Chains A and B, each alone.
Chain A
């Protein structure tokens, strides 16, 4: 069997919010084209970790980030590469769907237009392609000019996922993407992640253990800004080593 390649290597990542030490000595090797699930109770730093990966932490002046995040042999935290190029390598899905204030069509076309593709014919084809990829095409093909906010939450979240794919990323970052959705829509999103796995490296934050068990290949368990335990999903769920992990899996710790 071929050893799995690493897509993202995080070395000694430390993050501070002012004086608060939010992430402590994080080291992870995120495997390529697998689903890596980050588990942990609320407030342990999962969102912050995800934001470091595409440097959205830059937006907030009170956040300090130290360490290395290596993607394609390059440390993106200290890279000279244009930040917009770094961010295009990753699609982001947040906790609530935040469709852009535009119609459905333009929500998909936005990322393409931003990167300089303006030909109408090309855009039409790509919009259809991405909407099909998230199984939304049939539902919206007759109302592409409607505002994206007129869709249901579940549809919006799928639209946001497709929007993230338009910039042709290698990586999908998702922050509790199903926590605001009903079970049917949640399942649809989970299915999509499983389908997309062969093309994309997925980093998924969740605090639902059942979801993690269903789709994880690799699991990182965090507690108060530290990694307690990480490993392949089988091993992590069936044979946890740390006391904290065991009690979390039993559901007695929060």
Chain B
């Protein structure tokens, strides 16, 4: 059985409120990926559409997009794992190609979060948790991650300053990313100024500056068989490992609160499949929906030992010039987090890095890149390893 490649990547600019419909939003990411791969719609054998359906007014969007993108009569279907939907889509596309069922598959992630109001969207995010036993208490995503932050700080002495450093890093690169929602500089001092918005409380201990923003966006990844990739692509990037895991939705069913077991397990699977370890990773995109999420990712992916993630950010090891550059495209904290498109955007960043096409944020000669994409509050974990040539 041959290898599986990514031969095209695209994403829309992520914005607060997209001035168009979801099919038009999706067209933007798709068009860029198709032009990148130099394919026509006839070359796509199947499409996998990925989003979190609670934001969609359109029922069953896959069918609508297949028509709008010119992908009829090829098969199309829909997958979701909340915020990691498009990484799950990539894993499915990998399986479809690896099995020999299809040669070329388009993974299309999108979210138009502005279809509903911000508070309504917060309520829906809360319902990404256990609606029977948790949501009646009034839960929100920031509060769940805040509980992990509290536990991490208590156990390991991680500080709010360490979390602020992660946001400062994100903003350093967000300023360079024309596709990002938040492009303003963020200074460390802002977090100690009670008048500053960044320092405003959300869910203790997390502050406004610790949280990413909602966004509208789309992304598209074109996956192809080895044979197809070699015949049409000058710079295929290879899928070396795909790991995925799940856990109890209710926090009462979990044992670890200083990290995400799904990330540990997905990483382990992906490393084993690729025959590599954390030290082999040259560049990574991690799911920094909150600053604490990036801190835990350092540890869950093995870039640092448990409790030592803070040393990485204090020593700037996760900056572009550091030992293990992480989220040098600004991350979710800068780009915004259009749920179903987020994983696709992360994958695109790593593919561009491995092709030496990342521009200002290019890290030096990366061979292997990692994508860590989490759904819900560590409910679904996906880790994907990509390699050049």
A binds B: no
